[in-house]
Structure 1
């Protein structure tokens, strides 16, 4: 009995379980986990397909490929179900951005608005495709066109996100250059208070730069997915799947850090 009690106490006080429960309680956490599984299965399916192309078909390889494709499709559908109707959220955010700008930089504001509108179009078309194609509740005249509209919306949203990150990184670089000049002056005058203020500002800029750099990398990698989906560039399937896997890991890490906080 004491052994069972000890196990119960360990489970009740487990930090790992606490983080796991917080992570899985968040819809975005479950979405990121499904996304990681989806793109990792896509990457493995590509690798197995390449192996089949080189070494030929065997029953085991064909079965393994079919299983991976099925996992990818099931997880993709699961994610569509979880985000269905979310276009309303992005429409509301876009409307709020139009109503209240709150003194935001014009370029950042405009690119943020494009991002929200693009995501709204993506989510709306995605939901329509789910209802019409996957669930068959409505009849679509051209399901492929709906899918292309969704991809275009996502493409514009990601492009706006990448451009916004680049623009803000440039602003941060200008502020950092100004701060270095202030730092030189402070060091010459021996101003202790100014030195502390400079250190605080440097830390803030470093944190902002890291966040924007991560945003830029994630957007640039994810751009490969709609670019390939729309046939704009003949990108390698393996590289696209790898890009999706990497950004999924980055997203899951962000959610996990919030759950662990």
Structure 2
């Protein structure tokens, strides 16, 4: 009975379903990648060089696996960009920023795949030496579009809430949820923007700060994917 209770517990069933998806595994490895990056920095500052090396090795392995899991993911963003472009009823700013964000992510993830080929030994390290830099520039553009999108959604939902009748509680709750999601996404994109600014050398924070920012956004990613997992 105890075994059955554990095996058939809804949380375990959801965890299995979550890990059975490419998105679930990719988000989990991203969390590992940034968490050990954060831990490696603090281990090094405390003189634990062996532990720092272990965390660095784990970071490299997690990054390699993640890049493999994201192979051909640009196709998802091409489709999302096309759907947003065809949605003529959407707010013009929201629509255009969604299209721009997804097209930027097509460039970012396509160039990031080159790094995976290099790590796998399929492409020489001397090939496309500036690919990581251009990938970060595409990520930068995508995040700028995302931040504008987030701010526009917050503005639109806030205006809707102000114009609503107090009696319309159901509609009010739905719009409040949209506002909450847009605000959360704004925080999420802001932390990722902090990371890319460091990657492009506009900021020069240490590995610990970048690792912490990545850990926070990775938790957001895991949380969203978990909430979208149906059993």
Q: TM-score, normalised by structure 2?
A: 0.93
2:203 and 2:3 mapped to 1: Cα distance? 55
Q: Hey, what's the Cα distance between the residues in 2 that align with 1:113 and 1:142?
A: 30
Aligned to 2:66: 79
User: What 5-or-longer segments of structure 1 have no aligned partner?
Assistant: 1-5, 53-60, 184-194
Aligned to 2:78: 91
Q: In structure 2, how many angstroms separate the alpha carbons of the residues matched to 1:96 and 1:260?
A: 24
Q: 1:172 aligns with which of 138, 157, 174?
A: 157
Q: Are 2:108 and 2:135, in contact at CA under 8 Å, matched by a contact in 1?
A: yes
Task: Give 5+ residue unaligned stretches, structure 2.
Answer: none
The 1:199–1:10 alpha-carbon spacing in structure 2 relative to 1, beyond 3 Å, is: closer
TM-fit CA distance, 1:49: 1.9
1:199 maps onto 2:194 in alignment: no
Report if aligned partners of 1:90, 1:119 keep a CA contact under 8 Å in 2: yes
Q: Distance in 2 between matches of 1:95 and 1:17?
A: 36
Determine the structure 2 residue equivalent to 1:134: 119
User: 1:40-119 to 2 correspondence within 5 Å?
Assistant: 40-52=35-47, 61-98=48-85, 100-119=86-105
Q: Distance in 2 between matches of 1:120 and 1:210?
A: 27
Aligned-partner Cα distance in 1 for 2:11–2:83: 38
**Could you say which residue in structure 1 is the equivalent of 2:135?**
150
**Distance in structure 2 (CA, Å) of the matches to 1:223 and 1:70:** 25
| Pair 236,173 (structure 1): closer, same or farther in 2 beyond 3 Å | same
| TM-score normalised to structure 1 length | 0.82
SS in 2 for 1:259: coil
Distance in 2 separating the partners of 1:104 and 1:259 = 27
Cα deviation, residue 208, structure 1:
0.7
Tell me how far 1:142 sits from its aligned partner.
5.0
Larger Rg: 1
Deviations 1:3-62 (A, max 9, x none): xxx35533442223212211111111111111111110000011112222xxxxxxxx21
Alignment correspondent of 1:211: 181
Determine the structure 1 residue equivalent to 2:110.
124
Q: Residue in 2 aligned with 1:32?
A: 27
Residue 234 of structure 1 aligns with which residue? Answer: 204
2:225 aligned with 1:255: yes
The alpha carbon displacement at 1:237 in A equals: 2.3
CA RMSD of aligned residues (A): 1.8
